[in-house]
Amino acid sequence: MASSSSCTLLLPPLALSRISHKFSPPHPHLFLPYLPHRRLHTLHLARGQNPRGGGGDSADPPDRLISAACYLYPFLDGVHFGRFLLSQFPPLQLIILPLTPAIRLFRSSPLNPFLIFLTLYFAVVRNPSSFSRYVRFNTMQAIVLDVLLIFPDLVERSFAPRDGVGLDIVMSIDSTVFLFLLVSLMYGSAACLLGQVPRLPIVAEAADKQSRLELESRLLKIVGLQLGK
């Protein structure tokens, strides 16, 4: 990122005075002084800044609540991985007990997981005009985490052992997946409620990549609109 001092060295004094008079304050990037003022606001939003104040990682209370609730989606979709662990350690059921109504509602129809996925992705992640980058990043993390559940599901359905070493392996995989989902739910929701940015292993990198692709697409669209004038 270029600094304002480096931009000062590249522009002549007369040009700087005209730019500073017309655009208040001038943007540190070289191409931004040639964009209209309304484009500057649009570009700030494209760079992930919260229009209601703060940087891209700041969040208002409604954004925190929405982001925290998103982490329920992968947990509800993968709660069945905990059947072995919950049967061996009944005290763990006390943690799941408050979520029983949500689990029953989620499992009431086989279409619910798919419909929730479409809603979160297209109505939240792909809707920067209605949701801040903070909400969209956390929602994308929850979606990626849910997509990763395909792999343990395939392992379980492909082998489906009923006893022996194979069953022990499946039980270990399922219990590990369930614990990871439970920790992700607790950590992600708690961090969001505190206004922090939770970063889950592997998942955060994929969410960052999606955010970068979206940012680059919006930047190219803005610059293209400006060059077309």
Q: Mean pLDDT score of the chain, rounded to an integer?
A: 76
Tokens 């989620």, residue located: 106
Lowest mean pLDDT among 4-13, 86-95, 150-159, 171-180: 4-13
| Cα–Cα distance for residue pair 152/155, rounded to 1 Å | 5
Query: In this predicted model, what pLDDT tens digit does every residue of 200-225 receive, in sequence order?
Result: 988 888 888 776 666 556 555 555 55
Exposure of 163 in the CB half-sphere (CA atoms within 13 A): 0
Which candidate, 120, 112, 111, places its Cα nearest to that of 66? 120
Average pLDDT over residues 107-134: 93
Of all residues in the chain, the percent with pLDDT exceeding 70 is 66
Q: What is the pTM of this model?
A: 0.69
Q: What confidence score (pLDDT) does residue 160 get? A: 77
Average pLDDT over residues 84-94: 90
- Position 22 pLDDT exceeds 80: no
Query: In this predicted model, what pLDDT tens digit does every residue of 27-71 receive, in sequence order?
Result: 333 333 333 333 333 333 333 344 333 334 458 999 999 999 999
Rounded to 10°, the helix 150-159/164-193 angle is 160
Lowest mean pLDDT among 115-129, 138-152, 156-170, 186-200: 156-170
Q: What confidence score (pLDDT) does residue 92 get? A: 87
Q: Across 14-23, 30-39, 78-87, 208-217, which has the greatest mean pLDDT?
A: 78-87
Cis peptide before 25 (omega within 30 of 0): yes
Which two structure tokens, joined as six digits, stand for 97? Answer: 């007990």
Confidence of residue 162 (pLDDT cuts 50, 70, 90): confident
Q: What is the DSSP letter of 26?
A: P
DSSP conformation letters of 183-202 = HHHHHHHHHHHTT-----TT
Confidence of residue 23 (pLDDT cuts 50, 70, 90): very low
Query: In this predicted model, what pLDDT tens digit does every residue of 166-193 receive, in sequence order?
Result: 888 889 999 999 999 999 999 999 999 9
Confirm if 18 and 44 have CB atoms less than 8 A apart: no
Burial class of 204 by CB neighbour count within 10 A (0 to 12, 13 to 18, 19+): middle
Exposure of 84 in the CB half-sphere (CA atoms within 13 A): 15
Between 183 and 164, the more confident residue is: 183
| Cα–Cα distance for residue pair 103/79, rounded to 1 Å | 8
All structural domains of the chain with their residue ranges? 57-213
